Amino acid sequence: MNIFAYLCREAERITEDSLSDLKYANWWIESRDSRRRIFAEMLGLDRYLDNVDRDPPYARVTGILDRLDYRVEKIYFESLPKLYVAGNLYIPKRCNPPYPAILYLCGHSLDQLYHYQAHARRFAQLGFVTLLLETVQKGEIPGIHHGVYHYGFFYWYSLGYTPAGVEVWNAIRAVDLLQSKDYIDPYRIGVTGISGGGAISWFTSAIDDRIKAAAPVCGTATIASHIVKRTLEGHCDCMFWINSYRWDLTDIGALIAPRPLLIASGRRDWIFDIESVRLIYSKLKKLYTLLGSPDNILLVETPGGHAYHEISRRMIFRWFIKHLKGLDIPMDEVEDVDERSEIQESYSSLKVFEKSFPRDERVYTVYEWFIRGFESPRIEDIDDLRRYRERLRDILLEKSFGSFPKDPCDLKVEIELIQEDRQRIGYRIGYTSEEPWRMHIHVVRPIESRESIPLLVFLAMNSRNLYFGDKLLDGLNPLWARAIVEVRGVGETSWAQDLQWFIRRAAMLTGRTIASMRIYDAIRSIEALLSIFDWIDRGRIAVMGSGEMAVIALYTALLRDDVSAVILHDPPSTHLARSNPDGSGLSIEILNVLRYTDLPYIAGSLWPKHLVFLGPRPKEYSWAEEVYAKIGPPGMVTHIKNLSQWSWEA
């Protein structure tokens, strides 16, 4: 098994399991709020949606274009303080209010208000107020969608941040704005958009049931297709939620059901596999049928690739006329958009900010503050510490380590090789941490017989560590045993660096990270060792890691009560660590962890385990030392220059 095959398997499981058990109709209705809450959490929106009594945003109008059968208001509003959202509001002239409304969500095109104007204009001519909404990535106020994709911001996963959350929130606030207009019918609002706008159409409709009909275009695919067929490589970060609960797009679509949903896709789309689109449609069709609304879902396939087609455009217009106006008109009576160059408005005439955008904007830095971080815990005594640790364990097992197998596989521990010299005996151990991962440990202990021997578990950083150890182990007490543990990505299970970027993104889509997989391997390695050796002193087991492996050591110590010491060499100071654009660098992201804790707080929560710093430690770990000092023995913090300076009795 290699990492790519493993992630393909896990992605296929997610896709296969989604909507595989179509419970009775009432279950889908009764569970909708709880499922919506889960999805909101994966978008980072849970705390924003708690404010159900929010006032509609105030829209500032910077200019008006008055045309024969509609007018265009150039507007902007704040979806959150200083988070400015710009758009063009197309208002019909020829029909009588109150009008139905369309929220048009832009894709990743430059000059968005210009690029998509023909769609908004046609909707207005059909009698729909249409709000064409710019995105953070390509709007007039520059922002970042491609944090992971281009800049190595893998720590977004640790934050639980996705730009999809910001875009959905902006869309929700746009609905608030539309509903506040007296010329708009608040109960007849639809949403559509292509590509990124298609994805956000899915997400917004799932979160906000004020959306009465939806038509996502070229924004549909399964988790399996993104990973197995590697279409993930072409996708912006805004196309995905933080998949802590291992959902597929069908689970999101289930939150839209039974409201009208039209899915439009090209048969030869570069980044959305048509077979996966058909699978999603077929699964959702069964749900819509169960809910008594089989005609409320429709799949429209068009020739060609990632683009609109006359068929999809006309079907979308017909869809909204039917479901928001109650008119079922023949397809041949629906006119397409008019894209003749001579009738298009210039980009400069449609721009919202004629000279410059507001200088107090917080759009560019939204990823730094959109997700609320944790508050530093107050630890005054041992009871505070224990409560904090138990709560931390529980919440991380749910929110960050939910991909840990619920039924661990048989370890299948086997001694594959025994070695010996005058002083030592060695064992090559094979075991299965998770099917089908076959992992290895090299154990060395003194040959003289002792009933119980302390054990140091060293997390290998490279393949040569397995037999040759590491210079960091110099000075280890010769009367102790050492176990060199290979976790995924090290030694026989390693993968090429040029796959690292893809692996880190694909792992998130399957509800895990490289770090979380390694933590699971480390946890099970100790279980394997204890199952086969009765000479291990169960009261003196230490785990040691350097660099990114120090992170694995910390969480292993947190999650295993039988680890009584953790030795950290060059530990990162925080999960908020930027990697390189190609995916190289520290792979220490753990889903959502920065919503609840960070590395120094994990270290402090380990009391009364021995906390050992080998060499200098980042100043941020002073919090952990203060906690240890406040509570006192038996917990202790030790600073050493090499292992010869540390013992259990220090």
Retrieve residue 264's tokens: 């439009």
> Looking at the domain assignment, is residue 375 inside a domain?
no
Q: Are 574 and 620 in contact (CB under 8 A)?
A: yes
Distance CA 156, CA 506 (A): 14
> Looking at the domain assignment, is residue 374 inside a domain?
no
> At residue 422, does pLDDT exceed 90?
no
pLDDT at 309: 93
Structural domains in the chain (count): 2
Q: Are 54 and 176 in contact (CB under 8 A)?
A: yes
Task: Using the 3D structure, point to which of 369, 390, 416 is the last residue of a domain.
Answer: 369
Say yes or no: 343 and 424 in one domain: no
Q: Are 231 and 221 in contact (CB under 8 A)?
A: yes
Q: Reduced to 3 states, what is the DSSP secondary structure of residue 513?
A: coil
pLDDT at 94: 83
Supply φ then ψ for residue 435, to 5 degrees. -55, 130
pLDDT at 645: 95
> Looking at the domain assignment, is residue 104 inside a domain?
yes
Contacts of 535 (CB under 8 A, 6+ apart): 445, 450, 451, 452, 453, 481
pTM comes to: 0.96
pLDDT at 450: 74
Say yes or no: 408 and 336 in one domain: no
pLDDT grade for 649, boundaries at 50, 70 and 90? confident
What mean pLDDT is predicted for residues 589-615? 98
Distance CA 153, CA 14 (A): 25
> At residue 650, does pLDDT exceed 60?
no
Range of the domain at 630: 382-645
> Looking at the domain assignment, is residue 62 inside a domain?
yes
Distance CA 569, CA 612 (A): 9
503-535, pLDDT tens digit by residue?
A: 999 999 999 999 999 999 999 999 999 999 999
Distance CA 310, CA 336 (A): 6
> Looking at the domain assignment, is residue 650 inside a domain?
no
Say yes or no: 566 and 615 in one domain: yes
Say yes or no: 357 and 390 in one domain: no
What mean pLDDT is predicted for residues 247-263? 98
Write the CATH number for 529. 3.40.50.1820
Task: Using the 3D structure, point to which of 369, 401, 421 is the last residue of a domain.
Answer: 369
Q: Express as a percent the part of the chain with pLDDT over 70.
A: 100
Q: What is the mean pLDDT of the chain?
A: 96
150-195, pLDDT tens digit by residue?
A: 999 999 999 999 999 999 999 999 999 999 999 999 999 999 999 9
What mean pLDDT is predicted for residues 22-30? 94
349-405, pLDDT tens digit by residue?
A: 999 998 888 989 999 999 999 999 899 999 999 999 999 999 999 999 999 999 999
Task: Using the 3D structure, point to which of 334, 369, 404 is the last residue of a domain.
Answer: 369
Say yes or no: 213 and 360 in one domain: yes
pLDDT at 354: 84
